[in-house]
Amino acid sequence: MSTELDVFVGNTTVLDEDVYQLWLDGHTVSNAVRIRMEAGALQECEANAEVLHSDTMDQFRTFQMCERLLQSPSKVANQLLFQIPPHRQTMLIERYYEFDSVFAREVLGKKLSKGTKKDLDDISSKTGIALKCCRRQFDNFKHVFKVVEELKGPLVENIQRHFLLSDVLARDYAAIVFFANSRFETGKRKLQYLSFQDFAFCAGQLISYWTVGAVNNVMEDLDVDLEKEFLHDLKDLKVLVNDKDMLDQHKSLVCAQLRGKIKVFSEMEASFKNLSRALVNIASKLTHTKDFRDLFIDLVEKFIEPRRSDKWTIGDLRLFLKHYSSSVHTLEAFRHQVIWDRYMGVIKSCILKMYHD
């Protein structure tokens, strides 16, 4: 004796958000039933295990049927198969595209290719996220990447328009696309302490200030690519460390501002040249793809780690960076103020974001 077939179809598609989450998390039906029972679902409506199993099966099947649509969310609103109220549609889409930042951190900067997909079981065992769930998240990354890759115009808006995601989620996806496109090195051991959110923030900064779309609104290419001209111009900043006068002048200006205000003043004063050189060198190397990919590792190795070993507090660092970048304005011989600001604005916020344990 067995139930051979068991379906329930509502004119308005019945969706249980809790079960949806279980499905998204990649649980099997029996697992999900167990979790629901533990959560006290049996107390509701005098249900029994059988009822719960039937309901879970049914919901899982519904989600599976919806999945095809969710992969191109714009279809969800004008498909005819499922009658779903708009706010539920939004919920379905948003949840489907949500991802675990632990997982995203692992994939960040990797090529979204089949090769990486094969490594998902490693990531799954490392993060404790079900493989099925990893696959969905990875496929989502890949899918979003593929779609926006060919589109012109602002990245975040493109993602929002095509995937109907919330602003926050769209920005996260933009970061993932940006990293996948630029292939920044993020996997090094020294970078392990950085979370996805750290990188996402940095990506946001880079996208906002350094990309093609950031300066002119002419939508001619994917604005994920950094502005070549700007990167080239960054070489001109070398003058700040190469020109001895300028370096000294810069140093004295910064010291004058910071004297007594930061605890590590003496260390700062002693190593000003190194500090400045580290930052300027990173800038001048960005034209080379290889060095560009190492942006974050460079920032950490050349700047953040030394400061950390010198026990700079975040407040000291913030003050230093503020005056370090602003005092350049008073250097009369320096003619690359605009480039400098554009560079330092981003670097400053990235460093501050990344400066933690």
Nearer to another protein among residue 16 and residue 236 (C-beta) = 16
d(CA 137, CA 206): 24
Nearer to another protein among residue 67 and residue 229 (C-beta) = 67
Least Å distance between CB 96 and another protein? Answer: 17
Nearer to another protein among residue 87 and residue 114 (C-beta) = 87
Task: Please name the residues in contact with 66: beta carbons below 8 A apart, sequence gap of 6 or more.
Answer: 13, 76, 82, 92
Task: Decide: is 327 part of the binding site for another protein (CB under 8 A).
Answer: no
Pair 247, 276: CB distance under 8 Å: yes
Nearer to another protein among residue 79 and residue 271 (C-beta) = 79
**145 SS3 class:** helix
Nearer to another protein among residue 51 and residue 215 (C-beta) = 51
Please name the amino acid found at residue 334. Answer: F
Least Å distance between CB 49 and another protein? Answer: 11
Least Å distance between CB 315 and another protein? Answer: 49
Give the binding-site size for another protein (rule: CB under 8 A): 42
Least Å distance between CB 33 and another protein? Answer: 13
Nearer to another protein among residue 14 and residue 168 (C-beta) = 14
Nearer to another protein among residue 44 and residue 305 (C-beta) = 44
Least Å distance between CB 64 and another protein? Answer: 7
| Of positions 20, 33, 73, 89, contacts another protein by CB under 8 A | 89
Least Å distance between CB 219 and another protein? Answer: 23
Task: Please name the residues in contact with 300: beta carbons below 8 A apart, sequence gap of 6 or more.
Answer: 190, 191, 354
- Find the part of the chain contacting another protein (CB under 8 A) among 9-17, 229-237, 265-273, 314-322: 9-17
Q: Most distant CA pair in the chain: distance in Å? A: 92
Task: Decide: is 172 part of the binding site for another protein (CB under 8 A).
Answer: no
- Find the part of the chain contacting another protein (CB under 8 A) among 74-82, 268-276, 285-293, 319-327: 74-82
Task: Please name the residues in contact with 173: beta carbons below 8 A apart, sequence gap of 6 or more.
Answer: 97, 141, 144, 159, 163, 165
Give long-range contacts, CB 8 A cutoff, 24+ apart: 322-330: 322/348, 323/253, 323/254, 323/257, 323/258, 324/254, 324/275, 324/276, 324/279, 327/250, 327/253, 327/254, 327/257, 328/240, 328/250, 330/253
**153 SS3 class:** strand
Least Å distance between CB 65 and another protein? Answer: 6
d(CA 206, CA 345): 10
Give the footprint of another protein on residues 10-69 (CB under 8 A).
10-14, 44-48, 50-52, 54-55, 57-58, 61-62, 64-65
Tell me the sheet residues that pair with 222: 153
Please name the amino acid found at residue 162. Answer: H
Q: Give contact residues for another protein (rule: CB under 8 A).
A: 1-14, 44-48, 50-52, 54-55, 57-58, 61-62, 64-65, 75, 77-83, 85-87, 89
